[in-house]
């Protein structure tokens, strides 16, 4: 089955023999991965820097060499789940051909679904956790999330049908669209992987939510393809299964 | 502004003078409300039965008279967020006229949006929290959630368009639809209320996700109305603002 493979997924059947040297991951990445797994599965408040250091196999002091404590790690993980999509919004808006405005929302949804499908340990879940929302770094992250939601609303409003425009504000549309793409988080929470075909179906769903007719959705998909390849718009589409939740 | 008001919302500007007698809520309800607020805002693991008892203003021993501890309270709160919708699925399927099959999904989405909009303290969030998912009672709750998701998929599959059927399985459709309705949780997490008009827009969104044309969505909405009133299908649509998150 063709699935998204996170860039840093361990290869199946290849247990790490020599702890550090055999891995391409930097100590910094290893800390982020370990923290992601602990935060998502155990909770942010319930995880200590000692837990993280132990999981990586380093001393607690070494962890502080790379990060200013738990909030710094959380801040970086939160960024990871939003920043890659947000960074591409400007490019999408600039490059999308005027005659196929639907391709812009399609591309954003596809790229964002890809981001959420490939981040380690389904960290898209983090920002909804109460202990994360009440943490000191959440306030710094929230504007980025609002900016991404606003981008969904803006791109959606450009292609919205009459009945949708009459019943859904641009702000509400942004919420409906980002919510739809976050089905990726739901799928991964159940232990399943998200295939590229599913990501495309999610992008098409976003256009349907806006009331875009099927012929224009098909055209948006073709136009989006021309801008995805060759390119850096999508990070990883592999055919390698991964098991991280 | 017309908004959903939870049945047990405190009236604005009427602080409780005599703790128990002035309130229509039973001690059991008061415990559920206090626990809901603490679980959602502080976390399940981080809340003790002592915290809950203190918030209600009763002794810890009295709490155990009503509930078999924290897991029992959580189990009831999880049920509250799913059971009211699930219980109506059979009736929806039975009563929905065969000539307007779209009305069934519209009704389920509307009723479920109503459930999520009126449960105290946005407890629809609970089941996504790691400490809740790893609790002993989550396993008992999960089948109900899966049943509700399957109902969405089943009702969606009855009205799905060709292009949607070709790209989305019934199982995936169920996930997309329940995910869309859970935008209510997202809206409430931001401190906003969900209006009946928004709930209708969410129900219409579900039909758009299935590829249902606008004329049939409009007809589904009219048919759904005939089955909602007079009735017990929707619990509360008021015009009273509430502030609980």
Q: By C-alpha distance, which of A176, A185, A133 is closest to A152?
A: A176
User: Looking at beta carbons, which residues of chain B come within 8 Å of A134?
Assistant: 41-42
What does the pLDDT average to over B182-197? 95
Q: Cα(A196)–Cα(A114) distance, rounded to whole angstroms?
A: 8
CB-based contact (8 Å) between B74 and chain A?
A: no
DSSP-derived secondary structure for B185-241: HHHHHTT----HHHHHHHHHHHHHHTT--HHHHHHHHHHHHHHHTTTTSS----S--
* pTM of the full structure: 0.86
Is there a contact between B231 and B185 (Cβ–Cβ < 8 Å)? no
Structure-token pair, residue B72: 């029992």
Is there a contact between A208 and B180 (Cβ–Cβ < 8 Å)? no
Question: DSSP label at A239?
Answer: S
Q: Cα(A65)–Cα(A60) distance, rounded to whole angstroms?
A: 9
Q: Cα(A228)–Cα(B5) distance, rounded to whole angstroms?
A: 46
Work out the angle between the directed axes of helices A138-157 and A83-95 (0-180°, nearest 10): 30
CB-based contact (8 Å) between A42 and chain B?
A: yes
CB-CB: which of B45, B164, B200 is closest to A43? Answer: B45
- Closest CA–CA distance from residue A164 to any residue of chain B (Å): 8
Is there a contact between B147 and B86 (Cβ–Cβ < 8 Å)? yes
Q: How confident is the model at residue B20 (pLDDT cuts 50, 70, 90)?
A: very low
Residue A187: its H or E element? helix A183-189
Q: Cα(A146)–Cα(A160) distance, rounded to whole angstroms?
A: 20
Domain boundaries, chain B: 81-243
Is there a contact between B61 and B103 (Cβ–Cβ < 8 Å)? no
Nearest chain B residue (CA) to A163: B214
What does the pLDDT average to over B26-41? 95
Please state the ipTM of this predicted complex.
Answer: 0.86
Q: By C-alpha distance, which of B160, B203, B143 is closest to B178?
A: B203
Residue labelled with tokens 């875009």: A212
Q: Which residue has the higher pLDDT, A36 or B235?
A: A36
User: Which residues are CB-neighbours of A105 under 8 A, at least 6 positions away?
Assistant: A152, A155, A156, A158, A159, A177, A203, A206, A207, A210, A220
Identify from B123, B146, B179, B182 which residue to disrupt to test chain A contact, counting A C-beta atoms within 10 A and taking the largest count.
Answer: B179
Terminal Cα-to-Cα distance of chain A (whole angstroms)? 17
Q: Cα(A122)–Cα(B134) distance, rounded to whole angstroms?
A: 16
What does the pLDDT average to over B34-47? 94
Residue B19: its H or E element? none
The pLDDT of residue B13 is above 60: no
Mean pLDDT, chain A cut into blocks of 10 residues (245 residues total): 45 41 76 96 93 96 94 96 94 91 96 95 94 92 96 98 98 98 96 94 98 97 80 44 36
Structure-token pair, residue A45: 């408040």
């Amino acid at each position: 089955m063709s699935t998204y493979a996170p860039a840093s997924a361990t290869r199946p059947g290849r247990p790490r023999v020599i702890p550090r040297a055999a891995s391409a991951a930097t100590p910094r990445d290893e800390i982020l991965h370990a923290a992601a797994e602990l935060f998502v599965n155990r909770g942010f408040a319930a995880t200590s820097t000692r837990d993280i250091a132990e999981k990586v196999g380093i001393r607690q002091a070494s962890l502080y060499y790379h990060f200013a404590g738990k909030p710094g790690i959380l801040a970086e993980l939160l960024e990871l789940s939003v920043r890659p999509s947000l960074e591409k919004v400007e490019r999408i808006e600039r490059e999308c051909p005027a005659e196929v405005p639907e391709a812009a929302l399609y591309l954003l949804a596809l790229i964002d679904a890809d981001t959420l499908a490939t981040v380690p340990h389904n960290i898209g879940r983090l920002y909804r956790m109460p202990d994360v929302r009440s943490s000191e770094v959440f306030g710094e992250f929230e504007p980025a999330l609002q900016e991404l939601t606003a981008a969904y609303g803006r791109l959606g409003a450009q292609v919205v049908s009459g009945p949708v425009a009459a019943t859904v504000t641009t702000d509400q549309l942004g919420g409906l669209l980002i919510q739809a793409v976050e089905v990726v988080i739901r799928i991964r929470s159940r232990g399943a992987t998200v295939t590229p075909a599913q990501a495309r179906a999610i992008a098409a769903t976003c256009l349907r939510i806006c009331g875009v007719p099927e012929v224009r959705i098909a055209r948006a998909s073709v136009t989006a393809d021309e801008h995805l390849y060759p390119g850096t718009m999508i990070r990883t589409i592999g055919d390698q299964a991964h098991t991280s939740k």
